[in-house]
Amino acid sequence: MSIREPDWIQENPWKAFGNTVLSLDPPNHTKARRLFSRWFTPKLIKQWVEATKTSMEEILAGYKPGQVIDGHFDLGVVPTHTTMAQVLGFPDGEVEPLFWALWNAMLIQATDPAPGTREKSIESLDYMFNTTAKLLKEKEESPGNGLADELLAASKRGEITEREVLENMVLFYMSGAPNPAYLVGAGLEIFAEHPEVLREYRDNPGAREQIVNEIARLNPVELLLTRFPTQDIEIAGISIPAGSMVKFPIGAVNRDPKIFDSPHKFDFTRPIDASRNLTFGLGTHSCAGQLIARAEIDIIFTMIAERFTEVTIAQEPIRVITDRLVAYDKMPVTLS
């Protein structure tokens, strides 16, 4: 199964990331991933999520119990974007436009994009790349010690191209928040519906990983994996010719009744072997940032659980969704 699109696929604006892990098969994928993998070791992640903690402390310090707050943006997007910006050595920037620029850029990946989507995607990609290029130029004039600085130095040594630096920095700067932030919002909905889970998160640290895993199983933010077989194959008795497009619906896989008992039920007590899911991908293209995403989510949930005993949905959350991905537009909650 290849991630590279065959020639019959219409030119996709998303090919702007053609030099990143999003668009490469091994061995080129392995080389591209090596550019940043050492920055996301468990040891360093503990350091990075201190930024998540600091951001949350600032947010909660100004919060009055019972006040309406956006559980997705304020408690999810802001602290996780701040964390990734620190990893890269970039300023936070205008967080909300950056978040929605990535969303608009990804709309082109829907199976049947609405009219005008291509133009919107290109406009958003231009914004993302121009914003990041400006930050990289500023960084060359005032170096620091972030991941962006390391890649710029590698470029000057001739180890990677300037284009590779730009594409990777756009990818990380723009995508550091959406996936963990959506799971934060989904988790707050779970806490509101099942207050005992919030209590368990506070009182039983040993259960926290399982709780996050079950939230992720039921709430994948990226809903489809698309691959292209490089040879004729057969799956479940269906013949699939080489070069055709295969879409794997992650939401359906994560609720497969052959794998999960009571698949639509939130049950964090499932044994770990019976709770594995594809929310963060699988194999070669598993999410490179899933360890830091899980750590950020744990910090956010722990700080909420330690300070509050109840999460209430103030108004019905508004989701924006395609068959490719989902996000919250509005998610008003109260903490008390």
Q: What is the pLDDT of residues 123-163, one digit of tens each?
A: 999 999 999 999 999 999 999 999 999 999 999 999 999 99
pTM reported for the whole predicted model: 0.94
Q: Which element (helix H / strand E) includes 332?
A: strand 332-335
H helix intervals, the chain: 28-34, 42-61, 78-88, 95-106, 117-141, 147-156, 162-175, 178-193, 195-203, 208-218, 250-253, 290-307
CA dist 251 → 48, 217, 228, 256, 329 (Å) = 30, 8, 20, 9, 20
Q: What pLDDT does 68 receive?
A: 98
CA dist 143 → 84, 86, 135 (Å) = 17, 14, 11
Among 152, 164, 173, 139, CA closest to 16:
164
Give the pLDDT mean for 112-119.
91
Q: Which CATH number fits domain 13-335: 3.30.56.10, 3.40.50.11140, 1.10.630.10, 3.30.465.10?
A: 1.10.630.10
Give the pLDDT mean for 183-203.
97
Which three-class secondary structure state does DSSP give residue 325? strand
Query: Which residue in the block uniquely carries the two structure tokens 């470029």?
Result: 155
Q: What CA–CA distance (Å, rounded) separates 86 from 42?
A: 16
Q: Residue 252 pairs with which residues in a beta bridge? A: none
Q: What CA–CA distance (Å, rounded) separates 149 from 155?
A: 10
Q: What pLDDT does 9 receive?
A: 85
More confident residue, 14 or 61: 61
Give the pLDDT mean for 310-324.
94
Among 292, 285, 293, CA closest to 26:
285
Q: What CA–CA distance (Å, rounded) separates 308 from 56?
A: 14
pLDDT for 273 beyond 80: no
Q: What CA–CA distance (Å, rounded) separates 39 from 77?
A: 21
Whether 298 and 208 have beta carbons less than 8 Å apart is answered as: yes
Q: What CA–CA distance (Å, rounded) separates 160 from 151?
A: 8
Give the confidence band of 7 by pLDDT, cuts at 50, 70, 90: confident
Whether 103 and 96 have beta carbons less than 8 Å apart is answered as: no
pLDDT for 62 beyond 80: yes
φ, ψ at 234 (rounded to 5°): -135, 130
DSSP 223: -
pLDDT for 211 beyond 90: yes
pLDDT for 227 beyond 80: yes
Q: What pLDDT does 272 receive?
A: 75
Q: What CA–CA distance (Å, rounded) separates 103 from 121?
A: 9
pLDDT for 109 beyond 90: no
Q: What pLDDT does 285 receive?
A: 84
Q: What CA–CA distance (Å, rounded) separates 47 from 27?
A: 30
pLDDT for 169 beyond 90: yes
Q: What pLDDT does 298 receive?
A: 97
Q: What CA–CA distance (Å, rounded) separates 64 from 66?
A: 6
Q: Residue 39 pairs with which residues in a beta bridge? A: none
76-99 pLDDT tens trace: 999 999 999 999 999 998 899 999
Q: What CA–CA distance (Å, rounded) separates 269 from 41?
A: 28
pLDDT for 175 beyond 90: no
Whether 151 and 159 have beta carbons less than 8 Å apart is answered as: no
